A and B are shown apart, each in its own frame.
Chain A
């Protein structure tokens, strides 16, 4: 099962018959396993990894470190929930170390990011501090390098 998931995580366009061929499995069994993973919420979504810089879309991405005071009986979850409900939040992780939550957000401009922090994030009860870091360049995401590696010249053609 996990082998199927790993293949799909790398290339979600692989079809069940293709995966079945690659793993030496029965196509119907692979299709059933994928359907079950979808139903169980193991597979959440099929997406494309886009280099928005190349697509000439103006957008800024920021990592916001957030310190919070955990609440009795709720821990971090309640505050995390109040943060991740915002549409502009791409990812949210609970961290060990110097801060508690790592919030990744994408917005149209730096001003919009600032607006989000001032107007939405900082006022949340329990949020005690934030630090915003703008992402200047994406080199690699989800195991995928964003710059195309150069091809070696003059390779041997036959061996």
Chain B
């Protein structure tokens, strides 16, 4: 008998698996359940983008690409970032095409973090930053953002979390799961804390195209921050391309060149078919992005309006495609709420606690779903709230 527990990496054994599997086991058995659980666009990738992928296969473009990705794609990414966010990155040595935003996050953390380095992670946020930090033998330092600040990381919270060991600050905005964003004054306040330190910033801007009422501003746009910021972005949310696994990472060339070594040994190159599709998406897809964004905005406002009539407290999210209503006055924990809502009304939403301790008392609802679905889910929510 192999004693695997003695063989496995302590680091890996120490990782917690995502804790909400049980809902999905229940959900899978239900036929008529509505899921507002999964955080991905409900749209299929626009046809012209899919067609570009198919066409590349017809032509037989099935080999590896250069490690950093097709230069045409990197040039297009560079032009796009300039056009949409006024960010300047040289395609030659400042951009790597990655397997989704996830790989880009992993590369950034691994390229920067030495054992025992601290990584500041605002929570609630996407669940990968902590485990990736731990795999790099770094220490995840969670900062609990507050609903009264619309889940923005404040300068005071940042200052309090910084120690001599702080290496990296993760800025996961627009935010999953809260829908919170950081605006220019917020970024400037954080920048003031970071100036004069050696702290780098991982700015996860995967939802940058999905903001409502104002354009996204990148931390790399703030004076003195460009040289300390690594920007992660990708095609999954903006172009409804989650399954293509297309992301990219941009930053100072001195950092990118180190990241490229990890990518080279661990990944070689991102999928070729996806890269060809991505060229089409980024060069011809601005209208698709806008159409989808407008649709999300309809749903966002629709949901917010219904929350108000149900007297469910929720701050107005201005980014991503999530609502994060507070369910404290039901007297249930996030998990209890979600489990009962699923079992009794067959609607799947995610407990806020899955995204960090300060998510307790909230649930995440993804509005990347049809108005019909959302409307039915809200009818059921109304019934559920009356009952409990």
Instruction: State the A residues within 8 Å of B (CB).
Output: 7, 11, 14, 18, 20-24, 149, 152, 155-159
Docked-complex contact A22 and B24, CB < 8 angstroms = no
Considering only CB atoms, which chain B residue lies closest to A27 in the complex?
B305
Instruction: State the B residues within 8 Å of A (CB).
Output: 18, 20-21, 24, 27-28, 37-40, 44, 126, 243, 298-299, 301-302, 304-306, 350, 354, 371, 375
Known: A157-B28, A158-B39, A158-B350. 20 other contacts (CB 8 A): A11-B371, A14-B371, A18-B371, A21-B301, A21-B302, A21-B304, A22-B371, A23-B298, A149-B44, A152-B243, A155-B38, A156-B38, A157-B27, A157-B37, A158-B18, A158-B20, A158-B21, A158-B38, A159-B38, A159-B126
Residues on A with beta carbons closer than 8 Å to the beta carbon of B302: 18, 21-22
A159 contacts which of B39, B305, B306 (Cβ < 8 Å)? B39
**Distance to closest chain A CB from B213 (angstroms):** 10
Residues on A with beta carbons closer than 8 Å to the beta carbon of B350: 158
Residues on B with beta carbons closer than 8 Å to the beta carbon of A156: 38, 40
Give the secondary structure class of A's interface: loop
11 contacts between A and B (CB under 8 A): A21-B301, A21-B304, A22-B299, A23-B298, A24-B301, A149-B44, A156-B38, A157-B24, A158-B37, A159-B38, A159-B126
Considering only CB atoms, which chain B residue lies closest to A14 in the complex?
B371
Docked-complex contact B298 and A7, CB < 8 angstroms = yes
A21 and B299 CA atoms in complex are apart in Å by 9
**Distance to closest chain B CB from A80 (angstroms):** 34
Residues on B with beta carbons closer than 8 Å to the beta carbon of A155: 38
Considering only CB atoms, which chain B residue lies closest to A149 in the complex?
B44
Residues on B with beta carbons closer than 8 Å to the beta carbon of A24: 301
Considering only CB atoms, which chain B residue lies closest to A156 in the complex?
B38
A147 and B371 CA atoms in complex are apart in Å by 21
Docked-complex contact B40 and A159, CB < 8 angstroms = yes
**Distance to closest chain B CB from A105 (angstroms):** 31
Closest 9 CB pairs of A and B: A21-B305, A22-B298, A157-B24, A21-B302, A22-B302, A159-B39, A24-B301, A22-B301, A21-B301
Residues on B with beta carbons closer than 8 Å to the beta carbon of A157: 24, 27-28, 37-38
Considering only CB atoms, which chain B residue lies closest to A13 in the complex?
B372
